[in-house]
Amino acid sequence: MCDLPLISQRGESGELMQMWEQGLRVKKDTADSRYRSNLAESGATSWGLYPKEQARLVHLIFRKLEKDPRFHIIFVCSGAYASRMKIKEYSTQRNFEQIVVGPISRSALPSWSDQATTRSPTFADQNLSTRYSIEQEIPKGATRSQQYCVLELVPHPLGASSDVKFYVQNHGEARLVLGPIIGRVTPRTARILIEVDRAVQNLICTLTDPATSQR
């Protein structure tokens, strides 16, 4: 898990600007070099500030995938908006995925994010683009509405797998975000904690005894 995407969604300048707007408040006339320096000093860093380390990490991932085909890795990180990226190495045709879940609060999104789908992902180090291809999949409405994703990880000795689905909040029927967490159960009552993505008038929970199938 990373606090920023390993592979930029729309260029390092966009991600750095988002970080600045959320907490650092830069002046409009601040030079780019000073801008990056202040970001690093404050602890708000980006992979774009360390292109050699970024390239080395991506290289090591593919060497591990080449050595062990059963190895499965997926990066989960926060970013400007929800997206799914597939990074593929040209020479071996092996790939891994990066899942960006987007900001938790819509209010944190800067104004330019609604146009983010028109921008192509870029690299801080242009040498990466000669060795790897990037396929970016952006869920419909990801830049205009709050979303959450469900990531399924299946460990297996013969090869792990994963799958991700993105859901728009406050759309259609309520979707389960957290739970159910079953608390105290008595012959007549049960305490169940769940979290859904929207307010609903009626909510029904069914508790089934796995031994007797009694509800």
Tell me how long the chain is: 215
Hey, how many other C-beta atoms are within 10 angstroms of the C-beta on 4? 20
% of the chain with per-residue pLDDT over 90: 8
Cis peptide before 187 (omega within 30 of 0): no
State the pLDDT at residue 173.
Answer: 67
pLDDT at 63 over 90: yes
In the chain, domain spans = 12-168, 172-215
Distance separating alpha carbons of residues 116 and 154, to the nearest angstrom: 32
Q: Label residue 200 by pLDDT band (50, 70, 90).
A: confident
Burial tier of 26 (Cβ tally within 10 Å: 0-12, 13-18, 19+): middle
Distance separating alpha carbons of residues 57 and 108, to the nearest angstrom: 29
pLDDT at 20 over 70: no
Q: State the greatest distance between any 2 C-alpha atoms of the chain, in Å, as a whole number.
A: 70
Weakest mean pLDDT among 22-31, 101-110, 167-176 = 22-31
What SS3 class is residue 89?
Answer: strand
Q: Label residue 26 by pLDDT band (50, 70, 90).
A: very low
CB 174 within 8 A of CB 125: no
Beta strands in 107-215 (DSSP E): 132-137, 147-154, 161-168, 176-185, 190-196
Burial tier of 110 (Cβ tally within 10 Å: 0-12, 13-18, 19+): middle
Residues 110-165 pLDDT 10s: 443 444 443 444 444 456 778 888 887 877 766 666 666 777 878 877 778 888 87
Q: Label residue 35 by pLDDT band (50, 70, 90).
A: very low
Q: Label residue 10 by pLDDT band (50, 70, 90).
A: low
CB 212 within 8 A of CB 201: no
